[in-house]
Amino acid sequence: MKTQTPFATALVLGLALSAGLAGNPESTLAAPDIASPPRKESSGLRMLEELQTVITDLAEEAKPSVVSIFPIQTLGKSRDGSGERVPNSTGSGSGVIIDPNGHIITNNHVVGDATEVEVRLSDKTKLFAQVVGKDPDTDLAVLKVTTDHPLPAARFGDSTGVKVGQWVLAVGNPFGLDRTVTLGVVSGIGRENINLSRYENFIQTDASINPGNSGGPLFNLRGDVIGINTAIINFAQGIGFAIPSNMAKQVMNQLISKGKVVRAWLGVGLQPLTPDLANKFGVDENEGVLVNEVFERDPAALAGIKPGDVITKVDGALVDTPNKLSRLVAALDPGSSTRVEVVRDGKRLTLNVALSERRDAVVTASLPQSRTDLKLGIDVQDLTAGLAEKFRLNESRGVLISKVEAGSLAQAEGLREGDLVKEVNRVDTGTVGEFTVAVSKVKRGDTILLRVLREGRAFYVVLKPADR
């Protein structure tokens, strides 16, 4: 006789019950006294419950170190200069306590122009915090509150070990909902060109980050802060960005000790390598960044770096974007020396550069990436004193682009009237005659590499002339 499964037994009893009630609506059928079989827990369920416990314990451990931040507005100053201080809810955000003495790290854009902010702790205590320092270049700020007892502080982890796919926990105060916890994974690392700050190296996560989360921590499963949540992409669910903890820690230490961040300076203008530029300079695409300008008496010039050099490494670290080169140099101390590897005329050179302190005005040249195989489409003339003044060119000689034909390759590559051509295929061109000779040497089907000056800043561009 075949043994029935519990499901089959229940099905038979259910059918019998239905039949009995249908035959005699007034009759009742007592349910048989059958004991339910004991529930068997699978190893998979136990593993999930253990993981759940890890996450809930992590959330409980992490939340006390997270604070709400409200920049202070002063209303109606009195005769003594004081006034009523009120929190600005529209600029509210999050922060994380980084030591028991009351230092807090958050985003610069959360603090804004405020010199004082209101901080609300997990136990509902409200404190006023002073702004220790701000760094717009990384969108970070450090605050300090004064208390009569140690505060619950988070610990920093090493963001170099962060991997795509690992689980993370974001804690913050989105939309005023205190200490909201969201779980997700790291969905990308090394994100740049997001145009949120000057030095970008973001951790991307799908852990839900919303307005108000800015400045809050991103934890790994060990409870270490591996990032400071900083931004979301509007209208894109599951895409948030965090500043890596190593970058945040370096900035934080300088803000606490100096009140500002001091960075090293190389003294070059840079642009990314397009396929055409890479071909012209004899390197692979994304193998380094192109130096389009070297500033006089700055570290790069003193070390012998020249326009047209392709920087491939800094202290052995590979360089593939201008942003990465800027980050690598900025992380070094002014006055220190660094080894810069360049490719020049097909040869690899290593130069020792003594770095100086970064100036406020940092220049990174760029050019539109669009290209098309149309004719050259430019008219040129010798530079005169009047033209140099008109186009704000601090030059005495060169070849001025006087007209750019609509729809031409030159227009597509971003050239415009007033640009000054300084080189053709790495040869100096100070006059229209020299320009004409250099262009005449270009063989049919070859491209032309121009070094162009615009308002005192140089860049390279590759053009493909029409057949002659």
Annotated binding residues for substrate, as ranges?
Answer: 109, 139, 212-214
Pick the CATH number of 264-357 from 3.30.1050.10, 2.30.42.10, 3.30.365.10, 3.40.50.80: 2.30.42.10
Tokens 């080169």 label which residue? 325
Q: What is the predicted pLDDT for the residue at 196? A: 77
Q: Could you state, in order of their start, the residue ranges of all structural domains in the chain?
A: 62-76+83-145, 155-258, 264-357, 378-463
Residue whose token pair is 């061109």: 429
The whole-number pLDDT of residue 38 equals 63
Here the tokens at position 23 are: 């035959």
Residue 368 confidence (pLDDT): 36
Give the pLDDT of residue 91: 53
Per the CB < 8 A criterion, the answer to whether 253 and 160 are in contact is no
Low-confidence ranges of the chain (pLDDT < 70): 1-41, 73-91, 174-177, 233-237, 359-375, 465-468
Catalytic residue check, 206: no
pTM of the full structure: 0.66
The domain 378-463 having CATH identifier 2.30.42.10: the answer here is yes
Matching CATH topology for 62-76+83-145 and 155-258?
A: yes
Catalytic annotation, pick one of 109, 197, 298, 419: 109
Structure confidence at residue 142 (pLDDT): 95
Q: Which residues contact 468 (CB under 8 A, 6 or more apart)?
A: 444
Q: Please tell me the predicted confidence (pLDDT) of residue 227.
A: 96
Q: Reply yes or no on whether 139 is catalytic.
A: yes
Query: 62-76+83-145: CATH homologous superfamily?
Result: Trypsin-like serine proteases (2.40.10.10)
**What whole-number distance in Å separates Cα of residue 309 and Cα of residue 314?**
14
Residue numbers in the known binding site are: 109, 139, 212-214
Place of tokens 């692979």: 284
Q: Which of 65, 94, 135, 139 is catalytic?
A: 139
- Residue among 92, 159, 214, 408 flagged as catalytic: 214
CA distances from 111 to 107, 118, 136, 195, 243 (A): 7, 10, 11, 19, 16
Residue 109 known to be catalytic = yes
Length of the chain: 468
Strand ranges in 41-98 using DSSP code E only, listed in sequence order: 66-75, 84-87, 93-97
Distance CA(34)–CA(235), nearest Å, equals 55
CATH of region 155-258, choose from 2.30.110.10, 2.40.10.10, 3.40.50.1100, 3.40.50.740? 2.40.10.10
Does residue 421 contact residue 402 with C-beta atoms inside 8 Å? no
List of residues 6+ apart from 321 with CB closer than 8 A: 192, 193, 272, 286, 289
